[in-house]
Amino acid sequence: MTAETGNVAEELRGLIAGARFVLFDFDGPICKLFAGHTAEQVAKDQVRWLEERGLRGLLTEEEQTEPDPHVVLRLVDGRHPDSDLVFELEKRLSLQELRAVESAYPTEYVDPLIRTWHALGARLAVATNNSPLAATRYLATRGLSECFAPHIYGRTQDLSLLKPNPHCLNRALHALGAKPSEALMIGDTASDFEAAMSAGVRFLGYARNEAKDRALRKAGAEVVVESFEPLLEMLRERGR
């Protein structure tokens, strides 16, 4: 998977050519949020927190090793929807995400990519399963708030609306006044791809490693890049 090869480069140009609105997932495409400690550690902390309350049995043995804290949160919500337990677990995750902003680091090339796309007139939004407060705080630390604000759509108290549900994408499209055919979603997970397909939005996959690449392609993503550098160069060419 290299965007420099002819076919992929042409597909990439085709994706961005009609993209008047660009929806970014947050953790992955914009930054590595849990750079100081992994998302897997956060998921383990969630399971430990349940265990301290005698609730470890809510999860199967396999689920207790789940590395994605959003999946753990969804599993608990599925068994105790709209409960105080879920409220507290979500609140803990949001606080961890906010703390993680301090040590998060940007995805390579994404800051200039965002600024260039914004300067060329594209309307940008964040559509994420993370806390919108964490995304807002991180973008402020990078001086990117004006490129997105106020269009940052993240996790709500209704966890059934997390991606792959297209809810946050649809909120962004509605607020931007965008037709799905004019929009492009950039994400790094199968749930991002599935949400984009449900919303009728074209999709560009970002894969920082082979495992991400395989997962995106298995889900059906046709255009996947391992670096934003080729995309940035294409946009800069357009602006010359």
* Tally of CB atoms within 10 A around 91: 12
Strands (DSSP E) along 70-214, which ranges?
105-106, 123-127, 152-153, 183-187, 202-206
* Interval 107-129: pLDDT, tens: 999 999 999 999 999 999 999 99
Structural contact between residues 66 and 58, judged by C-beta atoms closer than 8 angstroms: no
CATH superfamily of 6-33+104-239: HAD superfamily/HAD-like (3.40.50.1000)
Q: What one-letter code names the amino acid at 63?
A: E
Task: Give bridge partners of residue 126 from the DSSP assignment.
Answer: 24, 152
Instruction: Please report the pLDDT score of residue 164 as a whole number.
Output: 96
* Interval 165-214: pLDDT, tens: 999 999 999 999 999 999 999 999 999 999 999 999 999 999 999 999 99
Split at pLDDT 50, 70, 90, the class of 39 is: confident
Split at pLDDT 50, 70, 90, the class of 1 is: very low
Structure tokens at 170: 């649809």
* Average pLDDT across the chain, whole number: 93
* Interval 77-92: pLDDT, tens: 999 998 999 999 999 9
Question: Residue 6: is its pLDDT beyond 70?
Answer: no
∠ CA 154-11-216, nearest 5°, is 45
d(CA 139, CA 55): 36
Domain spans, the chain: 6-33+104-239, 39-102
